[in-house]
Amino acid sequence: MSDDVVRQFPGTELPENLLDIAPRHHGFCQHEKVTLEEHTRTVTCAKCGATIDPFNFLMQNAKTIQMAWQHYRMAMHKVQEITERVDVLKREENRLRSIVKRLQAKSSAVLDVRGESRL
């Protein structure tokens, strides 16, 4: 059927496909490994072969580094808070130990709890 249409209308033949699209892997690529071409000034993913815009690549890396520093600051702040709480607990433990020692020293006298000794 399509051959009949082409014969009826000369010049409607489809041109040869001039597009050469590189095959891509299925799924989503994180572009974790890249190749930097100094001569052509391009960034190419070593895994999937996609060409990445250099500015977008730089911007994404800057955002990643910025997020890493924010997470580092939050973790260090949390460590500082926990360290302060541990110090408070250690001081409280020492205070309670001294109270227990003081009470044990006071109660070192022998007590007759059965009432066997007569006064």
Tell me if 61 is assigned to some domain: yes
Name the more confident of 11 and 105.
105
Tell me if 113 is assigned to some domain: no
Name the more confident of 101 and 110.
101
Are 36 and 45 in contact by the 8 Å Cβ rule? The answer is no
- What pLDDT, on the 0 to 100 scale, is given for residue 2? 56
Whole-number Å distance between alpha carbons of 35 and 58: 13
Tell me if 13 is assigned to some domain: no
For 31-85, write each residue's pLDDT tens digit.
788 898 989 889 998 888 888 888 988 898 899 999 999 999 999 999 999 999 9
Tell me if 34 is assigned to some domain: yes
Tell me if 7 is assigned to some domain: no
3-class SS of residue 55: helix
Number of structural domains found in the chain: 1
Nearest to residue 30, comparing CAs of 54, 48, 12, 8?
Answer: 48
Tell me if 88 is assigned to some domain: yes
Q: Which domain holds residue 46?
A: 29-105
Tell me if 12 is assigned to some domain: no
Tell me if 43 is assigned to some domain: yes
Whole-structure pTM value: 0.51
